């Protein structure tokens, strides 16, 4: 089974092929990570080869857990696979659900485990070009203002996180 992710079909959690999940808009499990350092959040620009939302800015990293994968292990795996980041210990902050059209007739309907990790200033990052074009550190308040001014440059889920779940995700971690 290739790219099978946990999704609900007729009320039962079952492995479903990732593209089918998004074509059908099935509710499915996901993981999102935000890496913070000195009041700033690390965001990534998605690679142009991504099958949805290419070139848009997103949170530090996100993915779907494998069928039997623990969300915390998934967060660590994805930090390593997308950004070459190791040695961080993301803390689970919350679980949120959202539904958003992501283009090309695809729908993300995710039940997301949100993780936050604190990083040192000299964090080593080694981008996987198949996943990520660029990264940058942005002050959380500046990020919210940028998203408000130019929403089309950001993924739907990052816009939703900042608009609807900012306090639940960041709380007092960066004075949010």
pLDDT over threshold 60, residue 1: no
| 110 catalytically annotated | yes
The pLDDT assigned to 132 comes to 98
pLDDT tens profile 65-86: 998 899 999 999 999 999 999 9
The pLDDT assigned to 68 comes to 87
pLDDT tens profile 124-176: 999 999 999 999 999 998 999 999 999 999 999 999 999 999 998 988 765 43
Q: CB within 8 A of 5, min separation 6: which ones? A: 15, 16, 17, 18, 21, 28, 29, 64, 65, 66, 67
Q: Which of 61, 74, 108, 110 is catalytic?
A: 110
Task: Supply φ then ψ for residue 152, to 5 degrees.
Answer: -65, -10
Fold entry, domain 4-167: Nucleoside Triphosphate Pyrophosphohydrolase (3.90.79)
Q: Name the pTM for this structure.
A: 0.94
| 81 catalytically annotated | no
Q: Which of 61, 62, 74, 108 is catalytic?
A: 62
Q: Residue 113's beta-bridge partner residues?
A: 31, 95
């Amino acid at each position: 089974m290739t790219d099978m992710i946990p999704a609900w079909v007729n009320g039962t959690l079952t492995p479903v092929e990732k593209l089918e999940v998004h074509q059908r808009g099935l509710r499915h499990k996901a993981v999102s990570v935000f890496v913070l350092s000195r009041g700033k959040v690390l965001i990534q620009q998605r690679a142009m080869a991504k099958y949805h939302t290419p070139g848009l800015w997103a949170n530090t990293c996100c993915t779907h857990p494998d069928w039997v994968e623990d969300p915390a292990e998934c967060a660590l795996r994805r930090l390593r696979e997308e950004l070459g980041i190791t040695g961080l210990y993301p803390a689970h902050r919350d679980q949120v659900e959202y539904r958003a059209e992501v283009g090309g007739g695809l729908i993300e309907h995710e039940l997301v485990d949100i993780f936050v990790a604190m990083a040192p200033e000299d964090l080593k990052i080694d981008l996987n070009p198949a996943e990520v074009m660029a990264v940058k550190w942005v002050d959380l308040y500046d990020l919210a203002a940028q998203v408000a001014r130019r929403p089309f440059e950001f993924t739907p889920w990052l816009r939703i996180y900042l608009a609807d779940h900012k306090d639940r995700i960041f709380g007092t971690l960066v004075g949010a």
